Amino acid sequence: MHEVVVAALVREGRVLLVHRSPNRRAYPGVWDLPGGHIETGETELAALTREMHEELGVRIATGSAIHLCRLDAGREGEPVRLSAWLVGEWEGTPTNVAPDEHDEIRWFRPEELPPVAHELVGTAIVEAMRGARA
């Protein structure tokens, strides 16, 4: 089973999403959280740190990472375990340093959140962001 980590970078009541390029094999042309596959021997947080640097050019503060949810996804014969994290602190300005993977990045407020690749992840993001404002 493939293992994938994704991060919801949250700042000032908004979350950063990436728009997956239309030529992607999995979930083309949809908004999603940035992230990617966990490499052999990597922990989820190590993979999350590496992926955020590779895709957005930022260095996350792993101490600020809060686990949101874990779900099994993927296509028949290609199972994927997806782990989503909420991240509130990082160094650098997020930019699209992986234009072959995403054609746009954008900040969204919870009430503006477009449908994401996995509905459960979208719900977890909104609930976590609303809880943080309470």
With 60 as the cut, is the pLDDT of residue 24 above it? yes
Predicted model pTM: 0.89
Per-residue pLDDT averaged across 121-132, rounded?
A: 85
Beta strands 59-60; 14-20: pairing state = unpaired
Question: Can you give the residue range of the structural domain that contains 76?
Answer: 2-133
pLDDT in tens, 89-126: 999 999 999 999 999 999 999 999 999 888 889 899 98
Domain with residue 19: its CATH number is: 3.90.79.10
- Structurally, the chain folds into a number of domains equal to 1
Return the SS3 of 118. coil
Whole-angstrom Cα distance, residue 97 to residue 102?
9
